[in-house]
């Protein structure tokens, strides 16, 4: 297990040791399409869309069901990669019926407008609180630019989804795919518009960002705590909700499919540890920018390179700081 790409600091008594990677696996390349073969999974593939210009960060899932479906869309910058992946699975654009967005953050739903254009018979499903951002993505685009800074170059500006192409979801709703189904569970700890989808046909959960980030090359878990809606208590409740399902397979929003094993238990350990680490450093430094700089300087840049590793750390620290402020109000 590991914290969010944090290198150990032997001079800091509160440092959290990052264990050596226990497993080494073959790295997946940008544009590669993989069939999910863990557990009893059938009919599910995922494509690495090369989000942020790096491999093994952004997947889009393809369900080759009676009603073919995508789970998430990646950013608006890589929708052609998804169309090519669908073709390799045997799904033509006009045959796609469902685009299921776990939430409207642009790394998960930024391509919805483009794919809706390219796939004229697909309905876009999203939590009811996220619909307005798909119909008019301008506010979300501006907010994302503010949050990610120069990383915005990797996104591609989203285009609207026609309102009559959208179906809204709430907790307990089911998207019927014929021989598969996507049961909707509201998971607002990461964002109020986030859901996870449980597919009983494969005993698998599409986790969005509710179960953290999984690195398939090292078999490690990392946290994700971006601003402005992350809350620790609700995020832990979301993990507990997934644990109650006791799924065989987790299909991470970052990155890939894996047998559940102890992944959820690990996340419930490292998430509060991470929040406590940021809180301690804030008390010590009493300056938020200094806190952010402290962690960014110690970011592990081996996973996705220096630029993305440092940017990920900056977002995660800022998200915790915002959550601490909200908690204390």
Any domain includes 26: no
Any domain includes 13: no
Average pLDDT over residues 208-212: 98
Rounded distance between C-alpha atoms, residue 102 and residue 109, angstroms: 8
More confident residue, 2 or 84: 84
Residues 6+ apart with CB under 8 A from 216: 25, 28, 56, 255, 256, 258
Number of domains in the chain: 1
Rounded distance between C-alpha atoms, residue 230 and residue 255, angstroms: 20
pLDDT tens readout for residues 22-63: 333 446 789 999 999 999 999 999 999 999 999 999 999 999
Rounded distance between C-alpha atoms, residue 3 and residue 313, angstroms: 10
pLDDT tens readout for residues 224-281: 999 999 999 999 999 999 999 999 999 999 999 999 999 999 999 999 999 999 999 9
Average pLDDT over residues 306-328: 95
Any domain includes 21: no
Any domain includes 319: yes
Any domain includes 9: no
What per-residue confidence (pLDDT) applies to 302? Answer: 86
Residue 128 is part of which domain span?
Answer: 33-169+179-328
Any domain includes 20: no
Q: What is the dihedral of CA 311, 313, 319, 324, to 10 degrees?
A: -150
Average pLDDT over residues 114-125: 98
CATH of the domain at 291: 3.60.15.10
Q: What percent of the chain has pLDDT over 70?
A: 91
CA distances (Å), origin 38, targets 34, 41, 145, 245: 11, 6, 37, 17
Quote the DSSP letter at residue 286. Answer: -
Any domain includes 85: yes
């Amino acid at each position: 297990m590991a914290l969010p790409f944090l290198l150990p600091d032997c001079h800091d008594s509160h440092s959290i040791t990052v264990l050596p990677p226990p497993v080494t696996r073959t790295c997946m390349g940008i544009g590669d399409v993989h069939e999910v073969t863990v557990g009893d999974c059938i009919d599910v593939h995922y494509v690495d869309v090369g989000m942020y210009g790096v491999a093994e960060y952004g997947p889009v899932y393809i369900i080759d069901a009676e009603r073919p479906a995508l789970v998430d869309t990646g950013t608006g910058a890589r929708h052609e990669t998804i169309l090519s992946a669908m073709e390799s699975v045997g799904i033509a654009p006009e045959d796609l019926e469902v685009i299921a967005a776990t939430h409207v953050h642009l790394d998960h739903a930024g391509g919805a407008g483009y794919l809706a254009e390219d796939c004229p018979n697909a309905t876009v499903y999203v939590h009811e609180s996220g619909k307005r951002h798909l119909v008019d993505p301008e506010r979300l685009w501006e907010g994302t630019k503010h949050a990610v800074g120069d990383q915005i170059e990797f996104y591609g500006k989203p285009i609207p989804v026609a309102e009559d192409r959208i179906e809204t979801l709430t907790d307990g709703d089911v998207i019927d795919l014929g021989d598969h189904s996507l049961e909707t569970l509201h998971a607002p700890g990461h964002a109020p518009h986030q859901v996870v989808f449980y597919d009983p046909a494969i005993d698998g959960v599409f986790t969005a960002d509710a179960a953290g980030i999984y690195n398939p090359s090292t078999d490690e878990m990392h946290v994700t705590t971006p601003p402005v809606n992350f809350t620790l208590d609700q995020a832990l409740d979301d993990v507990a909700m997934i644990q109650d399902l006791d799924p065989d397979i987790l299909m991470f929003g970052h990155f890939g499919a894996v047998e559940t094993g102890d992944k959820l238990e690990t996340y419930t350990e490292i998430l509060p540890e991470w929040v406590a680490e940021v809180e301690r450093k804030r008390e010590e430094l009493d300056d938020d920018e200094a806190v952010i700089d402290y962690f960014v300087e110690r970011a592990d840049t081996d996973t996705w390179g220096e630029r993305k590793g440092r940017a990920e750390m900056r977002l995660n620290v800022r998200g915790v700081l915002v959550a601490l402020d909200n908690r204390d109000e």
